[in-house]
Structure formats: structure tokens, C-alpha cells
Amino acid sequence: MLNRLFCPNQEKVLSTIHRFGRKGLGPFSGVNFFASMATPSLFWEVVGIEAGYQELVEGRFQRLDNRKVGGILQRGGTVLGTARSMEFATPEGQELAASRLQKAGVEGLVVIGGEGSLTGALRLQERGVKVVGIPATIDYDVFATDTAIGVDTALNTALEAIDRIKDTASSHQRAHVVEVMGRRCGYLALMSAIAGGAEVVLIPEFEAKPQEIMRVIRRSWEQGKPHFIVVAAERAPLSAEDIHKYINETEGAFKSRLTVLGYVQRGGSPTAFDRILASRMGTAAVKALSEGQSGIMIELGGRQTEYIPLERVVGQVRPLDADIYEMAEVLAGLPDEI
């Protein structure tokens, strides 16, 4: 029986393994839910770490008791905090982290985060740590799992913003370009564009030319549409800023305004879906550890939580569903000639 379960939030620190000190990932809605769910467990002493892997390398663990996790279910962000760790990005740092866990008598580690965090989990597993990963990121880029904790909350936040912007767009007969996050993955942009009824979506996975977008804008204007919404993913090859400028520099039709949603999408109270997902994945992770499983990630496959080896997840690129992209074009009523 495990008696110590370690549940850091390592999203930001572990991303440095992948990206070596460039901008890291951050907190998202759902981590608190896991901490709060796991802590009152009757069978484990649960320890957490503030600032993720950096404090793991430094061996600073703290007990998570009911007082520490009380009243956090509905909060976004993470009570454990997050940070980058250049030290953990090195093999020596990973060795040190593994030995810290061993010395502290930690028998199971739950890593909650995106691609970078899960890469770190695999590195620890290779060093003998019993580890289970939980996919949690707003970016929808973790391979295999149907979804990750945080995606639904971020999507709903982006959608609410687009709905609100549309009100202004219609009143003023303007084009509005809305930039959403998602790192290398266009999922958040694509889904919020479909749900928000945007006319155009720009995502990293597909190229678009400004002239083509302008043709669609003119057509919409001629058809008497009261607004024109472009949703652009932050890493789309034709960026939100570029298309915004292009529209304003081109004569006729709508004038454009630009809104960058940015970190608004990373905060806020988690949706019911994310809370339940965090709860299910957390429960599955604890169960997996108690069964002696290690080196796996919990994934949502259809309606079930399942186990998948971390090495099948890490380093994989999640392909975007081209059918959904095509559906977005059909729903937007794009003209055939573009």
C-alpha cells in the first residue's frame, strides 16, 4: 500500500525540459480540483510542492491537509504555484529530484500538466520513480487523450469573449479579429470559431492568404452581414495582427478592431466538465499507483479513463481533425472560389 502520494503542479517547470528556458506553461483551471480531491484520501499521506520541479529538486515537500485544500474547488490557477526549473531540465537535476523523492519516502508521484510536464514524468520514471501523468493544459496538444483538464474552461472563456465582441461588431458593422491561445495547436481557435459563429478561423495547421480573407470580407459586406469575426490562433502563420492591419489598410468593406484574449483564457472558475474530468483522472491516477502501475498517463478514451504508456505520448504531435476545419468553413458560408 502506498503511504505517500506526491502531487506537484509542474506544468511550468517541466515545460523547460522541452523548450529550454523559453516561455513556460502556466496554471490552468483544474489543478486545484485534483489537490482537493486527493488530499482527504484515507489511505495516503499527500504531499505537494510549491513551484513544481524546482522545489522537487530542492527537496522541499509540504503536507497537503484538509485545511490547506479547503475551499479551492472552484478556483482557477493553482494553490501550489508554478515556476520554471532550469536545473530539472538537466539529467543531474532529474537524478537529484528522483533521489529527493526516494529519501522522503514518496512512493508515488502524480504529474499534472501538458507535454513538457509529461516529458519530465517520463524522465523520472526512467530513474525509478513510480509516476502517473494526468494531461492538463488549455492547448489540446497532448497526444492520445480525447481531452485534457483545462481545455473546456478555456474554450468556454474564449467563446464568451467572442459572443460579447460580436455584439459590438454588429452594432458598429466592423470586422473584429480575436486572438486566442493554444501554442502550436489550433483547437481552441477552431472550436471557439465554430461555436461563436466566426466567419474565418486562422490556425497554425493551415495556411491562409490575406487576399483570400479580404475577398470573404467583401462578400459578407455585400451580402449585408452586420459583422465579420476572425478568430486567429496565437501561432497562425497569418497572425491576428497581420490580418487586422491588412483589413484596415485595404479600401472598402469593414474596418477592423483587434482583441488579444491572452491570459484571460487561463484563469477563472473551472467548468463542471473540467471539475469532473479532474476528479475522474485524479481518481484513476491514485488507483493506478495503488495497482503498482507506473510510467503511464491517464487518458480519456470515449467515456472511459484508460492508461497509456508515457513513452507513447511524449514527443508526439497531435493532429488536428481536418474534417472539423472543413466543417468550420461550411458553417461560415465561405464562397467556393477561395
Residues with catalytic annotation?
139
Cα dihedral 217, 223, 226, 232 in deg (nearest 10): -30
Element of type H or E holding 189: helix 187-196
52 sits near ligand F6P (criterion: CB under 6 A): no
Least spacing, CB of residue 157 vs ligand F6P, in Å: 12
Q: How far apart are CA 185 and CA 204, in angstroms?
A: 6
Site string for ligand F6P, 179-208 (x = CB under 6 A): --xxx-------------------------
Grid cell at residue 49: 510542492
55 sits near ligand F6P (criterion: CB under 6 A): no
Size of the site for ligand F6P (CB under 6 A): 13
23 sits near ligand F6P (criterion: CB under 6 A): yes
Least spacing, CB of residue 109 vs ligand F6P, in Å: 21
Least spacing, CB of residue 27 vs ligand F6P, in Å: 9
Q: Are 154 and 181 a contacting pair, CB within 8 Å?
A: yes
Nearer to ligand F6P, 5 or 185 (CB): 185
Query: Nearest 5 degrees, angle CA 137-CA 142-CA 144?
Result: 140
Nearer to ligand F6P, 8 or 27 (CB): 27
Least spacing, CB of residue 182 vs ligand F6P, in Å: 5
Residues 144-183 that bind ligand F6P (CB under 6 A): 181-183
CB neighbours of residue 172 within 10 Å:
14
| 3-class secondary-structure state, position 4 | strand
Q: How far apart are CA 185 and CA 54, in angstroms?
A: 27
Cβ-based neighbours of 249, under 8 Å, separated by 6 or more: none
CA 170 vs CA 157, 162, 175, 176: distances in Å: 20, 12, 9, 10
Measuring CA to CA, which residue among 40, 84, 51, 76 is closest to residue 149?
76
Element of type H or E holding 92: helix 91-103
Residue from 174, 219, 266, 275 that binds ligand F6P (CB under 6 A)?
A: 266
Site string for ligand F6P, 272-311 (x = CB under 6 A): ----------------------------------------
Cβ-based neighbours of 250, under 8 Å, separated by 6 or more: 214
Q: Are 287 and 189 a contacting pair, CB within 8 Å?
A: no
Nearer to ligand F6P, 199 or 234 (CB): 234
13 sits near ligand F6P (criterion: CB under 6 A): no
Least spacing, CB of residue 22 vs ligand F6P, in Å: 8
Least spacing, CB of residue 101 vs ligand F6P, in Å: 26
Residue from 16, 29, 117, 137 that binds ligand F6P (CB under 6 A)?
A: 137
Q: Are 136 and 11 a contacting pair, CB within 8 Å?
A: yes
244 sits near ligand F6P (criterion: CB under 6 A): no
25 sits near ligand F6P (criterion: CB under 6 A): yes
Least spacing, CB of residue 23 vs ligand F6P, in Å: 3
Cα dihedral 151, 319, 317, 140 in deg (nearest 10): 0
Span interacting with ligand F6P, options 20-28, 46-54, 163-171, 299-307, rule CB under 6 A = 20-28
Grid cell at residue 314: 511524449
Residue from 24, 52, 135, 196 that binds ligand F6P (CB under 6 A)?
A: 24
Binding site for ligand F6P (CB under 6 A): 23-26, 114, 137-139, 181-183, 234, 266
